Structure 1
């Protein structure tokens, strides 16, 4: 069969208990059949796939060492975790408790997935060495923990919260024992990341006047920084190859992106659409930043090669996309949603 430009080819493969059909343009098929099959279309073309359960999926991450995706949810009964080795076939797993698990990271040097919750009494962290068996860990405060990251150069896990008085940060060197400490201000901290080349932890907030960023060299001592705009900053990542921190907002007009080369000085950038942007990640192998949103009509994805100029991409379903990650081994992006019927995961390609 000869494919001409503009032709479509359907690929059918098993997705959970049913079959899922991907319809890709011929040009995309040529990429799929090339020695590096997905780099030309990853982040641009997306398909939904069957989730293990219609839970409110809040966070996803990839473990290179385990070659495994793991996701956590804020709803579900005995199945608030799901895992997949390929992003297509997903298996439900029991969380350590049916709490509102909202953020997740992989700490390679510890060999642990670590998740944080905004509900529960005394135990708002859970850890797993394999993504399937999870254990609750004691936390120093019952705050609404919203984001977590691993800083290998510091040997430290750091989480931030949107509630609490003088204790909206907590840290751990092993994922098991946690210590709380003050943030730079009692604001609603929504996302945190580690920028190793800067030697800085950086967090963004959805509240707090002009100073909606804070930075720390050690996870314990924090300094407020002035954001580019007083909007609801919800997501943050470090793009090492660009030497750039990139943050996304769920509010604002044409300025829902800001960037910084140092974590201190921030510049507004034009967003491709005024959607409620919730998550982003940098794929160095693809040389691409990709963001997902929980609002918008057919345009809940945007991409950028440099963090400065953004392009809207078609989303396969207008669901509440909450979290996104990149698998270098699979050359694949995967995202999860808190809404939808049997299709709360999307992958690219």
Structure 2
């Protein structure tokens, strides 16, 4: 059926106190008549949108509870946070301090966004219940904190660092009080994730010979593991439906992806391009892994349905894409960049 703007559509309510037939303008029914979104393009076709400011955006995450994206940056004056409910229109927010905020997660059971920084004195964490109001939190050591994740089954936040001596991990049960502890080795830990089905924290490093992985069942006691290659591993995620841990790196020749079913045994996979891959995420509703890069020409995105075989996708702008997340409610990927002029966000579809 094809409707014109001036047409009327008859809607019948068969029962109830308001039973009857009503005529509504077709335009008012546009949302109901539109076909559902074509999920097949999500992760494949991308477009840039305007960020709230041209800051060096470093991390993005989605809160399903608040239905809100939040981003943090390591540059900007009084505006190192931005938020959006739809990924298209972004609003600047004041960070708790103008520090180098580099990683961010949403801890649903705590009702908190939690961000970590690689600068600041004694307060390298900030938290927010709504993405708008942020509060600094005391940290036990001034390390270069690089990544953070939440394990709801353990009720534990864990952050890892690229610097520090015997204290490159810190943990918190509430996001407010933090305790430092040793990593498996004093290496440059770049990314951490929680694999719920394995009951395991897994972190990857950009240094350390062949042993560039560490695992822990409690976030406090860590064991070194052997990576598939001595690459600079930069990002990691758990794809539960695939039963796979997947990591991407910024170095290596044709092997900038590695996978593991258990966090202990890792296999090299061919990357779609030898770009500096910086972030990746798994979208179970889309059954797709997506990674973004800070280098490459027109090819700074790659996707995979199984973690093993990867395909290059066209990036709408050759910017320094730093972080990526998936919104199941919006069926949308969103990524942020540390470079660009008025276009430091991209979304798909």
TM-score by length of 1: 0.90
Segments of 5+ residues of structure 2 without an aligned counterpart are: 3-32
Residue pair 1:38, 1:331 contacting (<8 A) in 2 also:
no
- Could you tell me how far apart the structure 1 residues matched to 2:221 and 2:190 are? 18
- Could you tell me how far apart the structure 2 residues matched to 1:33 and 1:334 are? 23
- Could you tell me how far apart the structure 1 residues matched to 2:148 and 2:317 are? 28
Residue pair 1:124, 1:139 contacting (<8 A) in 2 also:
yes
2:48 is aligned to: 48
1:147 is aligned to: 147
Segments of 5+ residues of structure 1 without an aligned counterpart are: 3-31
1:232 is aligned to: 232
Q: Kindly state the Cα deviation for residue 38 of structure 1 after the two structures are TM-superposed.
A: 3.8
- Could you tell me how far apart the structure 2 residues matched to 1:265 and 1:272 are? 22
Q: 5 Å matches for 1:33-112?
A: 33-35=34-36, 37-112=37-112
Q: 5 Å matches for 1:191-230?
A: 191-230=191-230
2:324 is aligned to: 324
Q: Kindly state the Cα deviation for residue 34 of structure 1 after the two structures are TM-superposed.
A: 2.8
Q: Which string of whole-angstrom CA distances, capped at 9 and with x for unpartnered residues, describes residues 80-109 of structure 1?
A: 000000000000000000000000000000
- Could you tell me how far apart the structure 1 residues matched to 2:194 and 2:72 are? 21
> In structure 2, do the counterparts of structure 1 residues 66 and 38 end up closer, same or farther at CA, with 3 Å as the change threshold?
farther
Q: Kindly state the Cα deviation for residue 40 of structure 1 after the two structures are TM-superposed.
A: 1.3
- Could you tell me how far apart the structure 1 residues matched to 2:214 and 2:317 are? 34
Q: Which string of whole-angstrom CA distances, capped at 9 and with x for unpartnered residues, describes residues 260-316 of structure 1?
A: 000000000000000000000000000000000000000000000000000000000
- Could you tell me how far apart the structure 2 residues matched to 1:151 and 1:39 are? 29
In the comparison of the two structures, how many residue pairs are matched?
A: 319
Q: Kindly state the Cα deviation for residue 156 of structure 1 after the two structures are TM-superposed.
A: 0.1
Residue pair 1:38, 1:332 contacting (<8 A) in 2 also:
no
- Bigger Cα Rg: 2
- Could you tell me how far apart the structure 1 residues matched to 2:204 and 2:34 are? 41
2:133 is aligned to: 133
> In structure 2, do the counterparts of structure 1 residues 228 and 296 end up closer, same or farther at CA, with 3 Å as the change threshold?
same
